Amino acid sequence: MSTTYGTKYATAAAAAAYDEVICQHEEDPVWAAEQGLLTMLIRRHLPHPQSARTIDFACGSGRILKVLQPIVGDLTGVDISAAMLERAAARMPGVKLVQADILCTPESLPSDVDLVTAFRFLLLAEPPLRENCLRVLANRLRAERGIIVVNSHGNPWSFRLGARVRDAILARNTSLPHFSMRDMKLLAAKCGLRLVEATGCGFIPRSVQRRLPATWCARLERAMSGMPLLWRFGTNLMFVLRPL
């Protein structure tokens, strides 16, 4: 994974900045809603999640591992960054962690896996990297019943649309990264996968969150997340993929 994204969090300082500044904290209302959606999707699409053999790819400091541990069976966290895995080991003692560049050593991943998760990867990784990694992960799935659950925290049809319009009007030379449901369908097809369900959350911009009581924001996010049609306008989309 010798690309910009692959080396972005290689140092202890970069891993700490991601974990403590960039990444959502436990009290974040969007993160709380996202955890609920992930748990719901796993239980809906896996008949026996408690025995599911699971990989959390690009596991970083272990946020998704913490959500998965109580609901799945054999659990492995995989990341290219040793610095990130050090933080994951401190957060999730006892969980198996593997440092690997899966493009160079796909055999470092378990095979016949029931569930693969990959969060905050699709939006940030370069297109060739995301496609190549998704192909490798798809090849580790158990035939027919395995699933991949991935997310995009950059839905262009969310409140981010307002920022794009503003920047265009003001002729600002800025561009927020984005990854839509259409992007997911196209990528899945290239990797021998199909999209079987999508949902979303993340309706309240941080600028608004700062002006409202935290309990209000949490209730609003929980009420709106996953709602029919409305989820399409959440900034955080979540996708369930199966092999073709």
Taking 70 as the pLDDT cut, the residues of the chain under it are: 1-3, 24, 166-168, 174
Percentage of residues in the chain with pLDDT exceeding 70?
94
CB 106 within 8 A of CB 139: yes
The yes or no reply on domain 4-16+27-243 and CATH 3.40.50.1000 is no
d(CA 55, CA 142) in angstroms, rounded, equals 12
Is the full-model pTM beyond 0.85? yes
Q: Contact at 8 Å (CB) between 183 and 134? A: no
How far is it, in rounded angstroms, from Cα 81 to Cα 61? 10
pLDDT at 1: 44
Q: Concatenated DSSP letters for 187-212?
A: HHHHTTEEEEEEEEE--S-HHHHTTS
Give the 3-state secondary structure of residue 15: helix
Contacts of 31 (CB under 8 A, 6+ apart): 24, 25, 63
Helix (H, G, I), strand (E, B) or coil at 9: coil
Reported as a single tens digit per residue, the pLDDT across 101-159 is 999 999 999 999 999 999 999 999 999 999 999 999 999 999 888 999 999 999 999 98
Decide: 194 and 4 in contact? Cβ < 8 Å: no
Domain ranges of the chain: 4-16+27-243
